[in-house]
Amino acid sequence: MFPLISKYYKLNSTEKKMFFEAYVTSFYARMLILFCSFKRLEKRLGKKSAQLMSNENQNKELLVLIKRSIIRASKYSFWRNKCFEQSLTAAIMLRKRKIHYVLYLGLAKKNNKLVAHVWMESQGYFLVNKGNTEFTTLSTFYA
């Protein structure tokens, strides 16, 4: 327990704020997934139709910081915090900062079982990685 606290205090103030925001937002995302229908949840993911997204060069360091804070939050959370929760957390955090993103829902077949995965990118940077499996994209959300 104490090593975790010492790791937290070694972070700079920006990283502490982002970690706390990601931690709370990931809990909120998990509650949304548990208690909301997918139809209602779909509104939070973004629009299904592709919009012309501006190629503004947002701060890549901010995207890296958001990704790092989401990974930290998922590591220390006591609730399920996998790809869907992480992507929803990233979507909420990016939308708050008015940064465009693309969220993908996909399926693949592994060992005769269907495997679902959600991944997200913003400006060519993956906030939640696709992984090395070839997924068939079922749905794409833009914001």
pLDDT at 111: 87
- The pairing of beta strand 113-122 with beta strand 125-128: antiparallel
7 exposed, middle or buried (CB, 10 Å; 0-12, 13-18, 19+)? exposed
Q: Given this model, what pLDDT does residue 41 score? A: 86
| 127 within 8 A of 101, measured Cβ to Cβ | yes
Instruction: Read off the pLDDT of each residue in 59-71 and give the average, rounded to a whole number.
Output: 92
**% of the chain beyond a pLDDT of 70:** 87
